[in-house]
């Protein structure tokens, strides 16, 4: 059974308002802590090594070391994604996502059933393989878009999680 990293016990003593003297949980790796960097108006995480800038009046934190900045809002206890209410994912977008996942593979599968390959053909398996590949390809695209919308960096999270596991094993 794998050993799961535990968050720091000091995170129970989190300040309610965002300021450069406090230490907060990292919104990227979820295990590290961000604190103010010396002689800079910025925060840094000691575990994932990302640098953040903050707007203390609006309690918003932005990742400064990426081309496409991610942002979070501090609510006094935890970070929340910095989404605007006018850009929420509504039922129309979810319907379009399910259509993108199901429609192309269904059309490919129907095409393979309406115009089947010749019996005994060496590629008679290809229409089914193509339909399954199209389903998983479109599912991957929709999952990627949802992860990008909610700003959860999966690769950074798994990289830090793996690093923590290796450090506990050694």
Q: Which two tokens stand for residue 94?
A: 């979810």
Supply the pLDDT for residue 2: 44
**pLDDT over 90 percentage in the chain:** 30
What pLDDT does 90 receive?
A: 80
Give me the residue label for tokens 């830090």. Answer: 160
Distance, CA of 46 to CA of 31 (rounded, Å): 10
Residues of the chain whose pLDDT is less than 50?
1-6, 8-11, 84-86
Q: 22: burial class by Cβ within 10 Å (0-12, 13-18, 19+)?
A: middle
Give the per-residue pLDDT at 105: 97
- Give the total residue count for the chain: 170
């Amino acid at each position: 059974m794998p050993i799961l990293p535990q968050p720091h016990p000091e995170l129970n003593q989190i300040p309610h308002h965002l300021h450069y003297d406090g230490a907060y949980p990292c919104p990227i790796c979820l295990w590290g802590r961000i604190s103010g960097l010396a002689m800079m108006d910025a925060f840094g995480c000691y575990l994932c090594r990302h640098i953040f800038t903050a707007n203390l009046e609006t309690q918003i934190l932005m990742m400064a070391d990426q081309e496409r900045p991610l942002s979070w809002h501090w609510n006094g206890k935890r970070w929340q994604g910095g989404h605007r209410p006018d850009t929420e994912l509504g039922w129309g977008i979810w319907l379009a996502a399910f259509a993108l996942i199901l429609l192309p593979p269904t059309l490919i599968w129907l095409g393979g059933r309406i115009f089947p390959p010749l019996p005994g053909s060496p590629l008679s398996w290809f229409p089914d393989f193509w339909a399954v590949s199209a389903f998983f390809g479109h599912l991957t695209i929709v999952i990627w878009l949802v992860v990008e919308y909610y700003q959860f960096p999966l690769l950074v999270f798994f990289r830090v999680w793996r690093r923590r596991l290796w450090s506990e094993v050694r």
